[in-house]
A = this chain, B = another copy of it.
Amino acid sequence: MDSHYLKQIQAFYRSHKRMPSYSELMAVVGFRSKNAAYKLVERFVQRDWLDKDAKGRLLPGRLFQDLPVLGTVSAGFPSPADEELTDTMSLDAYLIGNKEATYILKVNGHSMIDAGILPGDMLLVERGADPRDGDIVIAQVDRAWTMKYFRKRGAAVFLEAANKDYQPIHPQEELKIAAVVRAVIRKYH
């Protein structure tokens, strides 16, 4: 079956971090002829299973970097074999807008628990971005770094904790926004 060949190519990509050449592909799938691998690739390219660049080299496409999106939880959980899984997405492309300015930060306290951010969560933050009203930001207030909601009322800006017991922080002079929180990632171990 052809899909078995595809899985072998995907395995090669994961272990070598690059696509195979035709000689390597020939060895991977067990052909004795480089041309057999060439024709296999041409078949896969026509089915949109593989991509080639201008120089004929293989490129990792959707099937190599993306994950299948099944749907929504409450709307049901269809079996992947049942329907066409056309909807896929790449985690990296989805989460990282500006890779140069993106950093990872670990959450330590319970201060943002009302915003659904738990201790141990990972934050994807972007430095140098200017925050909009309602964004969660990493800010420096009175020489201490904290995570707060960024609020803008006209020209006035202030910081608001996720916990409603705390009072909003209206900075006197200096309000240094270090980074804007772009995503929250929680992994269960």
Contact = CB atoms under 8 A, between A and B. Distances in A.
A69 interface: yes
A117 B73 CA distance: 12
A105 interface: yes
Contacts of A100: 7
A50 to B, nearest CB: 12
Interface stretch (A11-19, A26-34, A41-49, A165-173): A11-19
A18 B57 contact: yes
A108 B69 contact: no
A70 B105 contact: yes
A185 B188 contact: no
A108 B18 contact: no
Q: For the complex formed by this chain, how many copies does it contain in all?
A: 2
Nearest to A69: B104
Nearest to A117: B116
A53 interface: yes
A156 B88 CA distance: 37
A130 B168 CA distance: 45
Contact of A147 (B57, B73, B179): B73
A102 B88 CA distance: 12
Q: Which of A14, A57, A111, A185 has most chain B Cβ within 10 Å?
A: A185
Contacts of A124: 67
13 contacts: A16-B53, A16-B59, A18-B57, A18-B59, A67-B124, A69-B104, A73-B138, A77-B140, A113-B116, A136-B188, A183-B185, A184-B184, A185-B186
